[in-house]
């Protein structure tokens, strides 16, 4: 059974969408293994977004992720990595399909970073890595 690391980003928490996003995850049939509202740190984000270091949106992305609390979530279920990415929709909320979190609830706010409400792991390798970053107690 797969696990995936999901984040409700600061825009989602600020807009009061945490419950709606958890509702969609549970309605899909995935299990919530861990749910924690917390402030990210530079250290956690440097590890989490290591692959984006050096890209033009990296600094604004980290600043955005530090702008308020995030809801860190571990979900579980068969093929939940692919399944959550399908629920989340495309990166750009303007064109993300209706029916998805980003397509239904997101839009372009004219900012340097796509504020797109959620993150979901994109592979088993990144899920294991990201769960280790956000919830080390789950991997011991
Ligand atoms: P997905 O893989 O579903 O597109 P993601 O969160 O994995 O979502 P990444 O490509 O890993 O997307 O980028 C991480 C985050 O950085 C995005 O979710 C978005 O917030 C921001 N981002 C990515 N590309 C851009 C860009 N070209 N301009 C501004 N922000 C971006």
**Tell me, what's the ipTM?**
0.89
Confidence category of residue 69, pLDDT binned at 50, 70, 90 = very high
Backbone angles phi, psi at 99, to 5 degrees: 100, -20
Proportion of the chain above pLDDT 90, given as a percent: 97
Average predicted confidence (pLDDT) for the chain: 97
∠ at Cα 9 (77, 115), nearest 5°?
A: 120
Per-residue pLDDT reduced to its tens digit, 7-59 = 999 999 999 999 999 999 999 999 999 999 999 999 999 999 999 999 999 99
- Residue 112: per-residue pLDDT: 87
Q: At what angle do helices 18-28 and 80-88 cross, to 10 degrees?
A: 130
- Residue 34: per-residue pLDDT: 98
- Residue 58: per-residue pLDDT: 96
CATH class of 2-113: alpha beta
Q: Per-domain residue ranges for the chain?
A: 2-113
- Residue 29: per-residue pLDDT: 98
Told to judge if 52 belongs to the known catalytic residues of this protein, a careful annotator would answer no
Q: Is the dihedral of CA 67, 7, 58, 131 positive or negative?
A: positive
Q: Give distance in angstroms: CA of 27 to centre of ligand 1.
A: 25
Instruction: Give, for ligand 1, the residue of 8, 11, 91 to mutate: max count of ligand atoms closer than 8 Å to Cβ.
Output: 91
Instruction: Decide: 100 and 42 in contact? Cβ < 8 Å.
Output: no
Backbone angles phi, psi at 50, to 5 degrees: -50, -40
The mean pLDDT value for 93-119 works out to: 96
């Amino acid at each position: 059974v797969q696990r995936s690391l999901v984040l409700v980003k600061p825009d989602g928490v600020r807009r009061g969408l945490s419950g709606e996003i958890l509702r969609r995850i549970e309605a899909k049939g995935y299990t919530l293994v861990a749910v924690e509202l917390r402030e990210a740190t530079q250290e956690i984000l440097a590890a989490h977004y290591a692959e984006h270091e050096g890209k033009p949106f990296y600094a604004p992305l980290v600043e955005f992720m530090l702008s308020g609390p995030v809801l860190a979530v571990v979900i579980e279920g068969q093929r939940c990595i692919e399944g959550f990415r399908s629920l989340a929709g495309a990166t750009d909320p303007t064109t993300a399909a209706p029916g998805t979190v980003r397509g239904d609830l997101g839009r372009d706010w004219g900012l340097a970073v796509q504020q797109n409400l959620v993150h979901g792991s994109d592979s088993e390798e990144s899920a294991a890595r990201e769960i280790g970053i956000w919830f080390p107690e789950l991997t011991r």
